Amino acid sequence: MSQSLSTDILIVGGGIAGLWLNARLRKLGYATLLVESAGLGGGQSLKSQGIIHGGAKYALHGALTGASEAIADMPRRWREALAGGGELDLSGVRLLSDAHYLWSPGSLAGNLTSFFASKAVRGRVDQVKGEQLPPALQHPRFKGKVYRLAELVLDVPSLIARLAELADGSLLAGHAIAPLYEGSELAGLRVDGREIRARRIVLGAGAGNAGLLAGLGLKQPRQQLRPLHMVLVKGRGLKPLYAHCLGGGPKPRITVTSHPAADGQWVWYLGGDIAEADGVARDEAAQIAAAQEELRRLLPWIDLSDARWATLRVDRAEPAQSGLTRPDNAFLAEQGRLLVGWPTKLALAPDLADRVVASLERDGIAPGSHAPLPELPRPPLAQPVWEELLP
Ligand code: FAD
């Protein structure tokens, strides 16, 4: 016999968007249920670099963009949550670095005048030297300039695990999802034969939103996928580094983050320009060769003799923009009981949750009373990508 459940808010997708929203709504007293079809965090979230941007990267263009404005408050909000006193209690989540760095290998400082004048970075960027340099840059041969940005870098696996803990019994492993109509109105979803009724249904399934929307017969909002070809390198000679390395252009030439592997070694995860258009066009061997050449040129003192290399192709899922440009902030569309969102960045998950909460408040949807949920099959936590590719 099919099980019938009811909740205030039914969320689809257990990445950062769904898990953060779920925890936030539960803290506000809402009954929630979150359906995940694979591993928690295993979409883009655990493949991200974990940088909680404050918008500095986007201010590199010189002009202050909408992205810089919307995102500027995120580091503060995340810091408060990590300290246990914010909108969510994320104490226990591992902070990998209290700062992200901007590193200019040559004498590019002249290009940076407008950058330093922009609102997103004003008063929040300090030049560092000597022992204050990130460990990987502390070498007599290092010649560039380094600036400390007031941004942080999180260990995403511990973040996903903490949000799964805050979800308590509200997670459901579910695969076959179909709309549940009452009359002509969407009343909820049918998940593996369970009928789940809800006052609002939020699709927060990353790249899965497109398929879910198609299953509901909807063409809007449209989704765009931005492909990336990331590089991972693991070796005993690596020391932690969290930095955007500047080239001549508006985007970082390479963005390095460092992640602790289960065997105690560091994995460098390389994104930025190297992972975009030209990088996407390269096959795996050519992409690894390009990354080796970049690191040899930029950091010749780093010992990579025992390093192991891998690449990862992954798409960023976002609402469609003209010309595959980056959206400026979290995106939420509403159609009756259905809400559809993409945070567009890990850092902006709180912004997406704000938009959902504002929509509920506007529509007078207060926490209701529901029968307690029965014990449900729980989705597993997904593995960090470096453990899968470089075990
Ligand atoms: P996802 O994390 O993709 O989660 C979606 C979930 O939905 C998945 O678990 C999936 O299994 C599930 N799902 C899909 N379809 C269904 C279905 N039909 N039914 C049930 N469940 C379903 N942002 C930053 O702020 N800082 C960074 O440093 C950063 N680095 C990045 C690096 C890379 C290489 C990439 C790709 C992205 C990066 N981002 C970064 C962006 C960030 O990762 C994403 O914006 C964010 O993780 C998206 O979260 P999400 O929950 O919407 O999607």
Q: List all residues whose CB is within 6 A of at least one atom of ligand 1.
A: 12-18, 35-38, 42-45, 47-51, 53, 177, 204-208, 211-212, 228, 230, 271, 314, 316, 342-347
In a shared domain, residues 125 and 142: yes
| Test site for ligand 1: of 48, 216, 226, most ligand atoms within 8 A of the Cβ | 48
Mean pLDDT, range 97-116, rounded to an integer: 72
In a shared domain, residues 181 and 70: no
List the alpha helices (DSSP H) in the chain. 16-27, 66-71, 74-82, 113-117, 156-167, 209-215, 277-281, 284-298, 349-362, 385-389
Residue nearest atom 12 of ligand 1, based on CA coordinates? 13
Q: Give distance in angstroms: CA of 44 to centre of ligand 1.
A: 3
Mean pLDDT, range 317-345, rounded to an integer: 86
Query: Band of the pLDDT at 113, cuts 50, 70, 90?
Result: low
Residue nearest atom 53 of ligand 1, based on CA coordinates? 206
In a shared domain, residues 78 and 135: yes
Mean pLDDT, range 140-149, rounded to an integer: 89
Q: Give distance in angstroms: CA of 206 to centre of ligand 1.
A: 5
The residues, any chain, with a CB within 8 Å of residue 243's CB and separated by 6 or more, are 100, 101, 102, 103, 134, 137, 146, 255, 256
**C-alpha triplet 337, 341, 347: angle, nearest 5°:** 145
In a shared domain, residues 168 and 215: yes
Please give the Cα distance from 245 to 293 (Å, whole number).
14
Last residue of a domain, one of 264, 291, 317: 317
Name the amino acid, one letter, at 252.
P
pLDDT per position as a tens digit, 279-322: 999 999 999 999 999 999 999 999 999 999 999 999 999 999 87
Amino acid 218: pLDDT: 96
Could you tell me if residue 57 is inside a domain? no
Residue 327 has pLDDT above 70, yes or no: no
Could you tell me if residue 51 is inside a domain? no
Q: Give distance in angstroms: CA of 218 to centre of ligand 1.
A: 21
192 DSSP assignment: T
Bridge partner list, 179: 189
Last residue of a domain, one of 270, 299, 317: 317
In a shared domain, residues 108 and 214: no
Q: Domain containing 190: what range?
A: 4-45+158-222+322-389
Could you tell me if residue 55 is inside a domain? no
Could you tell me if residue 54 is inside a domain? no
- N- to C-terminal Cα separation, the chain: 43
Amino acid 335: pLDDT: 95
Number of H helices and E strands in the chain, helices first, is 10, 19
In a shared domain, residues 308 and 235: yes
The two structure tokens encoding residue 128: 């560092």
Last residue of a domain, one of 261, 291, 317: 317
**C-alpha triplet 209, 210, 211: angle, nearest 5°:** 95
Nearest atom in ligand 1 to 318's CA: 45
Residue 250 has pLDDT above 90, yes or no: no
Name the amino acid, one letter, at 71.
I
pLDDT per position as a tens digit, 69-92: 668 889 999 999 999 999 999 999
Q: Give distance in angstroms: CA of 9 to centre of ligand 1.
A: 20
Sign of the C-alpha dihedral, residues 291, 294, 300, 302? negative
Instruction: Identify which of 242, 249, 251 has the alpha carbon closest to the alpha carbon of residue 57.
Output: 251
Nearest atom in ligand 1 to 255's CA: 28
pLDDT per position as a tens digit, 211-246: 999 999 999 999 999 999 999 999 999 999 999 998
Q: Give distance in angstroms: CA of 228 to centre of ligand 1.
A: 13
Query: Band of the pLDDT at 63, cuts 50, 70, 90?
Result: very low
**Which range is most confident: 1-5, 295-299, 325-329?**
295-299
Nearest atom in ligand 1 to 228's CA: 34
Q: Give distance in angstroms: CA of 366 to centre of ligand 1.
A: 28
Q: Give distance in angstroms: CA of 37 to centre of ligand 1.
A: 13
Q: Which long-range contacts (CB under 8 A, 24 or more apart) does 87-93 make?
A: 87/24, 87/27, 87/350, 87/353, 88/20, 88/23, 88/24, 88/27, 88/163, 88/166, 89/166, 90/159, 90/162, 92/158, 92/162, 93/154, 93/155, 93/158, 93/159, 93/162
User: The domain spanning residue 150 has which CATH number?
Assistant: 3.30.9.10
* DSSP annotation string for 276-293: SHHHHHS-HHHHHHHHHH
In a shared domain, residues 331 and 242: no
User: The domain spanning residue 171 has which CATH number?
Assistant: 3.50.50.60
**Distances in whole angstroms, Cα of residue 9 to Cα of each of 23, 33, 71, 99:** 12, 7, 26, 36
Residue nearest atom 4 of ligand 1, based on CA coordinates? 15
The two structure tokens encoding residue 32: 């929630």
Tell me which of 324 and 291 has the higher pLDDT.
Answer: 291
In a shared domain, residues 181 and 72: no
Residue nearest atom 35 of ligand 1, based on CA coordinates? 48
In a shared domain, residues 124 and 179: no
Q: Give distance in angstroms: CA of 16 to centre of ligand 1.
A: 7
Could you tell me if residue 116 is inside a domain? yes
**Distances in whole angstroms, Cα of residue 188 to Cα of each of 177, 194, 280:** 10, 10, 39
Q: Locate tokens 């040129």: which residue?
A: 297
CB 258 within 8 A of CB 242: yes
Nearest atom in ligand 1 to 18's CA: 51
Residue nearest atom 31 of ligand 1, based on CA coordinates? 48
Could you tell me if residue 287 is inside a domain? yes
Amino acid 139: pLDDT: 93
Could you tell me if residue 300 is inside a domain? yes
In a shared domain, residues 186 and 285: no
What's the structural domain count of the chain? 2
In a shared domain, residues 68 and 147: yes
Amino acid 64: pLDDT: 45
Amino acid 57: pLDDT: 64
The two structure tokens encoding residue 17: 């968007």
Could you tell me if residue 370 is inside a domain? yes
In a shared domain, residues 137 and 263: yes
Q: Give distance in angstroms: CA of 314 to centre of ligand 1.
A: 10
At residue 342, φ and ψ (nearest 5 deg) are -130, 130
